[in-house]
């Protein structure tokens, strides 16, 4: 895939080869990343993604060597390099080079990398999901307040479990047995006209796109509840959908084998998000790219 990469003051169109088997991030997973988007020149909530990258690094005991503003400036430069028609995934990353003793990360060895690469928005086609027997960890079990790479294998094994049973995606509960999220995005359900999403309880990443959609739906006059969601509510919901940075809004068209419609709330959420995004200034236009 086409992309640009920034590391140690240099831009490249080739992936930088920067770690080895003795680096702390390689063998003990001391890596955080964030995921932003640029969609034909618009970069929705880019500042929030850059700020979250720095917060995540601090949660993981790192010493961030870039400020959110510096990261955002680099992201904007990368978007301009890729051009106004590109749809990109934007991934700032902090990682640890050395350990203190056997395993404790050395904050002074924090390093930084930025990757921007072409990644089309998934088609508005829907996906099937299934409740998996895996749970999100509590805050005393894992660094759940960080967008940490070490948290993602648990979601990946849940998705693999669901795929083996004929679904596209898994739903995970939290340590108390309440619905937490889809394995890679936030979950929403609609029942009798009320929109519901699990309350942020630090066991899952309450996403930036989730927050944006929540505000847009409420401003549009809908009743939206953030609360504990019981697993059995998924079996009676009128519609279910996901929000996340990668796909923004996607309908769930089957849950635990029960067919679901692409409903009006998911459709409206997508329309509202796109309208909001396109009301914002573009990072790069065709005229700017030609300069």
Residue 123 token pair: 């088609």
Over 70: is that where the pLDDT of 291 sits?
A: no
17-58: per-residue pLDDT in tens? 999 999 999 999 999 999 999 999 999 999 999 999 999 999
Q: What is the bridge-based pairing of β-strands 127-135 and 169-173? A: parallel
Rounded distance between C-alpha atoms, residue 186 and residue 198, angstroms: 8
289 vs 91 pLDDT, higher one: 91
160: Cβ contacts below 8 Å, ≥ 6 apart = none
Over 80: is that where the pLDDT of 198 sits?
A: yes
Over 80: is that where the pLDDT of 152 sits?
A: yes
**Mean predicted lDDT score pLDDT of the chain:** 95
Residue 286 confidence (pLDDT): 53
Rounded distance between C-alpha atoms, residue 48 and residue 60, angstroms: 18
Residue 103 confidence (pLDDT): 83
């Amino acid at each position: 895939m086409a992309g640009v990469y920034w590391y140690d003051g240099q831009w490249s169109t080739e992936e930088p080869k920067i770690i080895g088997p003795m680096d702390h991030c390689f063998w003990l997973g001391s890596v955080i990343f964030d995921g932003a988007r640029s969609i034909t020149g618009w970069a929705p909530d880019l500042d929030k993604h850059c700020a979250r990258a720095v917060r995540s690094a601090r949660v993981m005991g790192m010493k961030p060597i870039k400020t959110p503003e510096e990261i955002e400036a680099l992201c904007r430069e990368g978007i301009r390099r890729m051009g106004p028609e590109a749809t990109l995934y934007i991934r700032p990353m902090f990682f640890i080079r050395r350990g203190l003793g056997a395993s404790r990360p050395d904050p002074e060895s924090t390093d930084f990398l930025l990757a921007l690469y072409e990644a089309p928005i998934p088609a508005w086609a829907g996906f099937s999901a299934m409740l998996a027997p895996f749970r999100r960890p509590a805050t005393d079990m894992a660094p759940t307040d960080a967008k940490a790479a070490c948290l993602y294998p648990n979601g990946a094994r849940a998705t693999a479990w669901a795929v083996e049973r004929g679904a596209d995606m898994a739903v995970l509960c939290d340590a108390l047995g309440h619905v937490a999220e889809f394995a890679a995005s936030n979950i929403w359900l609609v029942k009798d006209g009320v929109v519901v999403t699990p309350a942020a309880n630090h066991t899952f990443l309450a996403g930036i796109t989730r927050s944006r959609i929540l505000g847009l739906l409420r401003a549009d006059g809908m009743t939206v509840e953030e609360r504990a969601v019981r697993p059995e509510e998924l079996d009676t919901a009128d519609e279910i959908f996901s929000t996340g940075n990668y796909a923004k809004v996607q309908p769930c068209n089957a849950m635990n084998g029960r067919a679901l419609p692409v409903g009006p709330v998911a459709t409206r959420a997508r329309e509202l998000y796109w309208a909001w995004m396109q009301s914002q200034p573009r990072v790069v236009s065709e005229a700017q790219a030609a300069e």
